[in-house]
């Protein structure tokens, strides 16, 4: 960037600009891919398209389930988690299942205050979060071998909940602590690569100035 600002030669500017672009574009692409921002951008573009055209999720993508309300999304996710608990031989109690609907804001079950009080009195929060996180982890692992429609439905339900502050999102996030650690390490690696690239560009600029 320093070279571009002090050199008035158009050809030199083009060369330096092309070099910078060739160095940083692959790094930006790699970072976006590792952090999932490619998919987020795709979802954002799809959402804008649906807003403009009035099409539903199923119309635009040809797959997945459209969740119009937070309740629909929670019913779907809670149902999947309860089914997984039954399959695992550790069925959820009524309180455990209802706690999947807990939130400080927005819609929740009408008796949530009583459910929350009973949960605080009779349950270990850490054990509960570990249990639900493990169930969610198994569901997400199984989804990799299922249809794309099933995967889309799960992801869209989570995306719907991301519009607010919901305990269920915390429980599902607890399913992937190792994956979060990997992403953090990849981000650190990306920063190191960027710094190395900047140092290499700086050396190239110094050499170029000496030669010219």
Clarify whether residues 111 and 202 are in a common domain.
no
Of residues 25 and 107, more confidence is placed in 107
Stated length of the chain: 212
Q: Is-contact 84 139, C-beta < 8 A?
A: yes
Is 145 a domain residue?
yes
Q: Is-contact 81 133, C-beta < 8 A?
A: no
Q: Considering only CA atoms, which of 176, 166, 169 is closest in space to residue 155?
A: 169
Q: What is the pLDDT of residues 75-102, one digit of tens each?
A: 999 999 999 999 999 999 999 999 999 9
Clarify whether residues 136 and 186 are in a common domain.
no
- pLDDT at res. 211: 75
Is 84 a domain residue?
yes
Instruction: For the chain, give percent helix, strand, coil, nearest 5.
Output: 75, 0, 20
Alpha-carbon span 107 to 72, nearest angstrom: 11
Domain containing residue 199: 176-212
Clarify whether residues 190 and 101 are in a common domain.
no
Alpha-carbon span 124 to 4, nearest angstrom: 61
Is 28 a domain residue?
no
Q: What is the pLDDT of residues 115-168, one digit of tens each?
A: 999 999 999 999 999 999 999 999 999 898 888 999 999 999 999 999 889 999
Is 42 a domain residue?
no
Clarify whether residues 191 and 211 are in a common domain.
yes
Q: How many CB atoms lie within 10 A of CB 136?
A: 23
- pLDDT at res. 134: 94
Residue 58's pLDDT band (boundaries 50, 70, 90)? Answer: very low
């Amino acid at each position: 960037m320093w070279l571009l600002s002090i050199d008035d030669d158009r050809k030199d500017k083009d060369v330096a600009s092309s070099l910078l672009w060739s160095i940083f574009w692959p790094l930006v692409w790699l970072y976006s891919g590792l952090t999932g921002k490619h998919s987020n951008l795709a979802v954002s573009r799809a959402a804008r398209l649906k807003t403009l055209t009035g099409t539903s999720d199923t119309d635009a993508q040809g797959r997945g389930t459209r969740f119009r309300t937070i309740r629909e999304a929670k019913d779907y996710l809670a149902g999947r988690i309860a089914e997984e608990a039954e399959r695992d031989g550790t069925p959820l109690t009524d309180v455990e299942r209802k706690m999947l609907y807990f939130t400080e804001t927005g819609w929740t079950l009408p008796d949530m205050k009583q459910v929350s009080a009973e949960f605080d009195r009779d349950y270990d929060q850490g054990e509960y979060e570990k249990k639900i996180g493990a169930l969610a982890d198994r569901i997400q692992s199984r989804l990799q071998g299922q249809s794309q429609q099933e995967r889309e439905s799960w992801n869209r339900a989570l995306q719907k909940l991301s519009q607010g502050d919901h305990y269920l999102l915390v429980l599902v996030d607890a399913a992937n602590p190792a994956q979060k650690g990997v992403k953090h390490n990849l981000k650190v690696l990306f920063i190191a690569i960027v710094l190395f690239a900047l140092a290499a560009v700086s050396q190239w600029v110094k050499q170029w100035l000496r030669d010219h």
